[in-house]
Amino acid sequence: MTVGQKSKSKWSRYGPVLRFLAKAVAVYGVWYVLYDLWLLPDGRLDAWVSQAAASVTGAMLSGFGLDVAVEGRTVQLAQTSGVRIVNGCNGLATIGAFIGFIVAYPGKTKRRLWFIPLGIAVIFLANVARVSVLAGSQAYWPAAFSWLHGMPTGAPFHLTVFGLWVLWARYGGSSPPATAPDADLSTASSPVHGPRRTSSSPATRSRNRHTDVSRRCVRGCVSRRLASRPELGRLGRDEPDTVPDRDAAVWAICSECPRASRCGTEG
């Protein structure tokens, strides 16, 4: 392998990770400029998000028949001092980190257009649930308020965000490029069958399809059968022109396999 081939191989292996990291750093830089240097000092966006979270929290608690009062950012339950949703607890910074990951991670644009709003809504509702628990603890379990404000309510909230990231990485990413089935290949190799030639003729493609399926046999029955028949292993290695004969013989071996119907070789 030449130096250029080694370099290309390393780039194909680590290139996607490096591109993701570069995008993540760029998105973080943009978010830092927008939020920390502009939106946070301005305060209007944070105030709107906090008031919206307080209003939804009050509506949800009222739906459970509780006596709730909402004033700006503060949610009061059962005549308590209330829970005030400050800038750091309104979920806006977490929403920004979520959007940055979705933008940086490979995926299809159409899927991003609906997944980002869905994720924002889920994060917002998760924060509303957190505020509701804190408001309820302040009214009915005051001694546990400080404890609940930490890990017990923070962990489920951040696990929700992490779950959205995993969901996007698993189902929202770009599909691998498809390989044309009729592509002409000069040579191909296999650790089981050795080098072989392929062509675009229908008969040869059919044989190759079954040979490829047999190569993936989970129990290696083809390998064991070939080991017992060394003359087939020599075909294609010592006599390249006999590759079609070897493939036909392997196809026959697979067709006789009792698991042919399960691995797709039968027929």
Q: What is the pLDDT of residues 160-182, one digit of tens each?
A: 999 999 999 988 865 443 444 44
d(CA 26, CA 39): 18
72 in helix, strand or coil? coil
For residue range 51-110, list pLDDT tens digits in order: 999 999 999 999 988 889 999 999 998 778 889 999 888 999 899 989 999 998 888 889
- Token pair for 171: 């189902």
- Token pair for 85: 């949703």
Cα–Cα–Cα angle for 151, 157, 159, rounded to 5 degrees = 90
What is the rounded average pLDDT of the residues 24-45?
Answer: 87
DSSP conformational letter for 135: H
Residue 127 identity (one-letter amino acid): N
d(CA 148, CA 130): 9
Would you call 178 exposed, middle or buried from its count of C-beta atoms within 10 A (0-12, 13-18, 19+)?
Answer: exposed
- Token pair for 57: 């929290």
For the cut 50, the answer to whether the pLDDT of residue 188 exceeds it is no
- Token pair for 66: 């509780």
Strand partners, 76: 69
Decide if 138 contacts 101 (C-beta within 8 A).
no
pTM: 0.61
Where in the chain does DSSP place strands (E)? 68-71, 74-77, 83-84
3-state helix, strand, coil in the chain (%, to 5): 70, 5, 25
d(CA 201, CA 134): 70
Would you call 242 exposed, middle or buried from its count of C-beta atoms within 10 A (0-12, 13-18, 19+)?
Answer: middle
